[in-house]
């Protein structure tokens, strides 16, 4: 993991020190975007009205059809696999920059002639994909920044088009699509977003308007624990609602010759990775039978491989709820440590005591803070005979939790798709 850029206590966010935006590039892009959008608008409106009329008079298909898109992010890939036994489901991304690691569906090149795509799939491709979806589907599952018209000046019209064509809308926040810098009271997250990209704040106003706009028109908004701080509306709220179907429990590795502790993060600052690395180095210096590995920016397949090699996985000291990587580590049957936010725990216990009192009591995820991380790791290292039993309980708990999440998710979508 790269060391933080510090000089006498001054922490550099980025080098070289260049402005986030070049005026000429910005002006050039938006000029092209506005001209294209104005040109396409009358043709697009005619197409939408025609599709809306046709869908009202056509015979309804026997099997409901669902669209999931439009980024290659792993959440919707797993959700699609859960529902495809009952519905005709299609996963779509304008372009698969994960190169198949988090997307196994269609891209724009599968539905649009290549010569029309040009240099960017988001120019004419936004309108082509939108019309393709309006014709074919009964429900769309979207991220808050995953709308097909997101990059056009007409992005607000997308929700209206779905309603006009009788298409139901399900929205899922995943993080950076809804979390604005200006309204985030978590300083480490704010700093992490700045470190991730000095351009991050540029979309703050749009994030807040977009959160309100989609909340106004969506049929269902599924929210994970922290997003209640950013969204004006949630219909389903869960502390542990992730669904993972491609991670299986493996035998616990031998503790000889060393106990291996792994930490990785997609955005190191947001998960306090520099502090975690510091504490792990301190631990390894005292206990030579401990091997440590701190990594960042790993592809998902490599991250899963690192979990298979580890005995202990440390996730985050900041977010405070069940992260995707924590769940994957638990499913693998590894001892997993992460922050459990006390206020979130109290909140969920109070809104759903029958579910969450027993859940938090039995949860094998080990809660840590920056003050307790070292002592909890030291206790595990000094008593390695406990590791395998903790890991076994962790894997069994996680698999049961995912099974329950799948059943709950299916039931909610069935209620929305076929209301009684």
pLDDT per residue as tens digits for the range 276-307: 999 999 999 999 999 999 998 888 889 999 99
User: What is the share, in percent, of the chain residues with pLDDT greater than 90?
Assistant: 64
**Nearest CA to 66 among 55, 82, 52?**
82
More confident: 4 or 65: 65
**What is the CATH number that goes with domain 259-408?**
3.40.50.2000
Neighbours of 282 (CB within 10 A): 14
**Nearest CA to 246 among 327, 173, 142, 313?**
327
Inter-residue contact 307 to 334 (CB < 8 Å): yes
More confident: 126 or 119: 126
More confident: 73 or 338: 338
pLDDT in tens, 401-417: 999 999 999 999 999 98
Cα-Cα-Cα-Cα torsion 225, 228, 233, 239, nearest 10 degrees, comes to: 10
The pLDDT assigned to 112 comes to 93
The pLDDT assigned to 7 comes to 66
pLDDT in tens, 351-390: 999 889 999 999 999 999 999 999 999 999 999 999 999 9
Q: State the average pLDDT over residues 157-163.
A: 96
267 has a pLDDT exceeding 80: no
The pLDDT assigned to 363 comes to 94
Please tell me if the domain spanning 59-238 has the same topology as the one spanning 259-408: yes
The pLDDT assigned to 101 comes to 74
As a whole number, the mean pLDDT across the chain is: 90
pLDDT band at 13 (very low <50, low <70, confident <90, very high): low
The pLDDT assigned to 118 comes to 83
331 has a pLDDT exceeding 80: yes
More confident: 262 or 7: 262
4 has a pLDDT exceeding 70: no
Strands 10-11 and 6-7: antiparallel
Q: State the average pLDDT over residues 95-123.
A: 87
More confident: 13 or 245: 245
Q: State the average pLDDT over residues 170-190.
A: 88
Strands 220-224 and 6-7: unpaired
pLDDT band at 193 (very low <50, low <70, confident <90, very high): confident
CA distance 337 to 317: 9
What the block records as the tokens of 6 is 């510090």
Q: Which of 95-99, 110-114, 135-139, 219-223 has the lowest mean pLDDT?
A: 95-99
The pLDDT assigned to 245 comes to 84
The pLDDT assigned to 2 comes to 45
**Nearest CA to 241 among 261, 264, 225?**
225
12 has a pLDDT exceeding 80: no
The pLDDT assigned to 393 comes to 96
pLDDT band at 5 (very low <50, low <70, confident <90, very high): low
Q: State the average pLDDT over residues 100-110.
A: 86
Q: What is the 3-class SS of the chain, one letter each residue?
A: CCCCCEECCEECCCCCCCCCCCHHHHHHHHHHHHHHHHHHHHHHHHHHHHHHHHHHHCCCCCCCEEEEECCCCHHHHHHHHHHCCCCEEEEEECCCCCCCCCCCCEEHHHHCCHHHHCCCCCCHHHHHHHHHHHHHCCEEEEECCCCCCCCCCCCCHHHHHHHHCCCEEEEECCCCCCCCCCCCCCHHHHHHHHHHCCCHHHHHHHHHHHHHHHHHHCCEEEEEHHHHHCCCCCCEEECCCCCCCCCCCCCCCCCCCCEEEEEEECCCCCCCHHHHHHHHHHHHHHCCCEEEEEEECCCHHHHHHHHHHCCEEECCCCCCCCCHHHHHHHHCCCEEEECCCHHHHHHHHHHCHHHHHHHHHHCCCEECCCCCHHHHHHHHHHCHHHHHHHHHHHHHHHHHHHHHHHHHHHHHHHHHHCCC
Q: Domain spans of the chain?
A: 59-238, 259-408
The pLDDT assigned to 419 comes to 60
**What is the CATH number that goes with domain 59-238?**
3.40.50
């Amino acid at each position: 993991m790269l060391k933080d850029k510090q000089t006498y206590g001054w922490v550099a966010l980025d080098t070289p020190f260049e402005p986030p935006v070049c005026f000429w590039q910005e002006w050039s892009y938006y000029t092209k975007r506005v001209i294209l959008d104005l040109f396409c608008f009358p043709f697009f409106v005619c197409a939408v009205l025609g599709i809306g009329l046709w869908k009202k008079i056509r015979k309804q298909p026997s099997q409901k059809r669902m669209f999931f898109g439009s980024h290659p992010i792993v959440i919707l890939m797993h959700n699609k696999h859960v529902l495809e036994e009952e519905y005709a489901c299609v996963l779509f991304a304008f372009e698969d920059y994960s190169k198949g690691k988090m997307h196994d569906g269609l891209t724009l090149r599968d539905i649009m002639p290549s010569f029309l795509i040009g240099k960017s799939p988001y120019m004419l491709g936004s309108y082509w994909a939108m019309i393709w979806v309006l014709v074919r589907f009964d429900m769309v599952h979207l991220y808050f920044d995953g709308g097909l018209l997101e990059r056009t000046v007409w992005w607000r019209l997308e929700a209206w088009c779905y309603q006009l064509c009788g298409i139901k809308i399900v929205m899922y926040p995943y993080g950076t699509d809804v979390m604005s810098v200006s309204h985030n009271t978590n300083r480490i997250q704010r700093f992490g977003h700045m470190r991730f990209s000095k351009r991050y704040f540029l979309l703050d106003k749009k994030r807040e308007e977009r959160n309100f706009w989609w909340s106004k028109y969506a049929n269902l908004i599924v929210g994970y624990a922290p997003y209640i701080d950013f969204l004006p509306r949630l219909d389903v709220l869960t502390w542990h609602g992730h669904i993972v179907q491609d991670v299986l429990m493996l035998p616990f590795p031998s503790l000889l010759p060393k106990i291996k502790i792994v930490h990785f993060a997609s955005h190191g600052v947001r998960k306090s990775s520099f502090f975690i690395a510091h504490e792990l180095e301190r631990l390894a210096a005292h206990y030579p039978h401990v091997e440590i590995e701190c990594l960042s920016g790993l592809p998902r397949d490599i991250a899963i491989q690192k979990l298979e090699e580890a005995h202990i996985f440390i996730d985050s000291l900041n977010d405070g709820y069940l992260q995707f990587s924590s769940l994957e580590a638990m499913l693998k049957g590894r001892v997993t440590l992460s922050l459990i936010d006390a206020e979130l725990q109290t909140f969920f216990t109070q809104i759903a005591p029958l579910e969450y009192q027993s859940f938090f009591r039995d949860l094998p995820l080990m809660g840590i803070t920056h003050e307790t991380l070292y002592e909890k790791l030291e206790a595990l290292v000094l008593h390695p005979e406990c590791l395998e039993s903790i890991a076994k309980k962790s894997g069994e708990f996680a698999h049961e939790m995912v099974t329950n999440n799948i059943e709950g998710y299916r039931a909610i979508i069935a209620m929305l798709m076929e209301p009684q």
